[in-house]
């Protein structure tokens, strides 16, 4: 497997995002080439794959792992005998019940997980049932513009620039310079009332972006051209996207968005003053201080979102699954998102690629430790 190189995700991030070389240049789904390479090598080594046969239960005897129970696609039980099992089922990003219980977020209301379908937390449950210490399950946060998947890219591109950002009380709550750090943004929004935040611009700012292109682009949002932004906003309104607002006055914009009207008027006034001098509240980069004066005004709701969940199974440095006394369970290992307890409520987006990096490395460590254990057991 080869890499295109190591890249930044957004301007303030580190160039740690290792993008896999594939046949169509840098773009979505490059990681599938890594999976194909690993799969091919495993087949060469004689590994047997049981696809569509999800693991259901870890079998233990005398405290040691002796096998795994699975069910094939016809509903038949399959027993795999083994001396070591590695749990790596990718977390629970599509299990909205578990997410609600563990984190308090309600999918579709105040959190928009875009996890891979079918990632239901099987490995977490199997490990906990087998005696693993249960650690908190967290959302791997990344902020989302409401309904962005149905909109032209220009809407997301404009509204994720360092614009004025307010909560439902009409108050600013973070330095907007960092808006492209999706984790900071999602985390900060999570701490606001109703987890509500709006990015706001006026017509002059929209025209500036349309004429010059947006300033902050990334490999994910590479296109500075946002010429269809206004059409995109109108389309969102026509489609009933309540998170996209167009209004002729700040008061009307606040009312439509459910923001405290007088506070927003005051915040915009103060912000416009800062644009003439210094942002005394957050010391935002003066380059991004642009007054909000000319109607119509545009706002987009930004919500907490996530790639899925991380964490839940306690492991040690050898990726051995440990019980509540930190003692390894003989023959049981975990890797990847199921075991990724290295973040608290925010994952480290300044080092892009590090959740995949954690998965690849813990997978390797778990494999090496398990192989050593099986050899020693003999």
Nearer to ligand FAD, 205 or 310 (CB): 310
User: Residue 53: how many CA atoms within 13 Å on its side-chain side?
Assistant: 13
Stretch that binds ligand FAD, among 108-116, 165-173, 223-231, 239-247 (CB under 6 A): 108-116
Regarding 3 and contact with ligand FAD (CB under 6 A), the answer is no
Q: Please give the Cα distance from 65 to 80 (Å, whole number).
A: 11
Regarding 113 and contact with ligand FAD (CB under 6 A), the answer is no
Nearest C-alpha neighbor of 305 from the set 119, 89, 105: 105
- Least distance to ligand FAD, CB of residue 340, Å: 7
Q: Please give the Cα distance from 51 to 74 (Å, whole number).
A: 12
Residue 216 has φ and ψ, to the nearest 5°, of: -100, 105
Q: Which residue is nearest to ligand FAD (CB)?
A: 336
Regarding 367 and contact with ligand FAD (CB under 6 A), the answer is no
Q: Which of 187, 355, 369, 373 is in the footprint of ligand FAD by CB under 6 A?
A: 355
Regarding 311 and contact with ligand FAD (CB under 6 A), the answer is no
Regarding 114 and contact with ligand FAD (CB under 6 A), the answer is yes
Whole-angstrom CA distances from 342 to 174, 225, 266, 322 are 24, 38, 41, 15
Regarding 88 and contact with ligand FAD (CB under 6 A), the answer is yes
What residues contact residue 10 under an 8 Å CB cut-off, 6+ apart? 180, 181, 182, 216, 218
Q: Which of 359, 366, 369, 370 is in the footprint of ligand FAD by CB under 6 A?
A: 359
Nearer to ligand FAD, 118 or 286 (CB): 118
Nearest C-alpha neighbor of 246 from the set 205, 170, 302, 297: 297
Strand (E) or helix (H) holding 320: strand 320-322
> First and final CA of the chain: distance in angstroms?
33
Nearer to ligand FAD, 118 or 222 (CB): 118
Stretch that binds ligand FAD, among 240-248, 262-270, 287-295, 354-362 (CB under 6 A): 354-362
- Least distance to ligand FAD, CB of residue 120, Å: 7
β-pairing, 320-322 with 17-20?
Answer: unpaired
Regarding 116 and contact with ligand FAD (CB under 6 A), the answer is yes
Residue 112 has φ and ψ, to the nearest 5°, of: -125, 90
Regarding 181 and contact with ligand FAD (CB under 6 A), the answer is no
Burial class (CB in 10 A: 0-12, 13-18, 19+), 73: exposed
Regarding 39 and contact with ligand FAD (CB under 6 A), the answer is no
Stretch that binds ligand FAD, among 186-194, 231-239, 258-266, 347-355 (CB under 6 A): 347-355
Nearer to ligand FAD, 126 or 259 (CB): 126
Nearest C-alpha neighbor of 200 from the set 238, 153, 152, 168: 168
Regarding 167 and contact with ligand FAD (CB under 6 A), the answer is no
Nearest C-alpha neighbor of 161 from the set 110, 212, 236: 212
Nearer to ligand FAD, 93 or 162 (CB): 93
Regarding 90 and contact with ligand FAD (CB under 6 A), the answer is yes
Nearer to ligand FAD, 115 or 268 (CB): 115
Nearest C-alpha neighbor of 68 from the set 122, 147, 14, 12: 122
Q: How many residues bind ligand FAD (CB under 6 A)?
A: 21
Nearer to ligand FAD, 175 or 309 (CB): 309
Regarding 115 and contact with ligand FAD (CB under 6 A), the answer is yes
Applying CB under 6 A, which residues contact ligand FAD? 54-55, 88-90, 114-116, 118-119, 122, 307-308, 336-337, 352-356, 359
């Amino acid at each position: 497997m080869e890499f295109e190189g190591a890249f930044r995700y957004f301007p303030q991030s580190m160039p740690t995002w290792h993008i896999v070389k594939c046949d169509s240049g840098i773009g979505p789904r490059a990681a599938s080439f890594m999976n194909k390479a690993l799969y091919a090598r495993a087949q060469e080594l004689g590994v047997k794959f049981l696809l569509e046969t999800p693991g259901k239960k870890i079998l233990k005897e005398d405290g040691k792992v002796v096998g795994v129970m699975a069910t094939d696609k016809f509903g038949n039980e399959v027993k795999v005998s083994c001396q070591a099992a590695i749990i790596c089922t990718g977390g629970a990003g599509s299990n909205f019940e578990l997410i609600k219980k563990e984190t308090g977020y309600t999918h579709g209301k105040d959190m928009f997980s875009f996890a891979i379908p079918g990632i239901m937390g099987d490995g977490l449950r199997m490990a906990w049932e087998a005696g693993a210490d249960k650690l908190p399950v967290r959302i791997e946060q990344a902020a989302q513009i409401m309904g962005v998947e149905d909109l032209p890219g220009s809407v997301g591109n404009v509204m994720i620039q360092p614009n004025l950002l307010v909560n439902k009380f009409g108050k600013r709550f973070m330095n907007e310079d960092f808006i492209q750090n999706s984790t900071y943004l999602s985390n900060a929004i999570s701490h606001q009332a109703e987890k509500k935040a709006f990015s706001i611009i006026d017509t002059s700012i929209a025209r500036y972006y349309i004429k010059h292109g947006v300033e902050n682009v990334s490999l994910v949002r590479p296109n500075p051209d946002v010429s269809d932004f206004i059409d995109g906003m109108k389309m969102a309104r026509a489609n009933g996207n309540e998170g996209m607002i167009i209004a002729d006055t700040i008061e009307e914009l606040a009312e439509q968005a459910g923001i405290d009207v007088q506070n927003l008027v005051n915040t915009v006034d103060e912000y416009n003053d800062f644009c003439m001098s210094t942002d005394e509240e957050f010391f935002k980069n003066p380059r991004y201080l642009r007054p909000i004066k000319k109607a119509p005004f545009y706002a987009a709701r930004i919500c907490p979102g996530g790639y899925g969940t991380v964490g839940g199974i306690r492991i040690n440095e050898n990726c051995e699954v440990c019980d509540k006394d930190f003692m390894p369970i003989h023959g049981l290992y975990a890797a990847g998102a199921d075991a990724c307890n290295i973040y608290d409520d925010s994952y480290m987006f300044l080092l892009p690629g590090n959740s995949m990096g954690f998965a690849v490395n813990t997978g390797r460590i778990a494999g090496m430790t398990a192989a050593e254990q099986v050899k020693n057991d003999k």
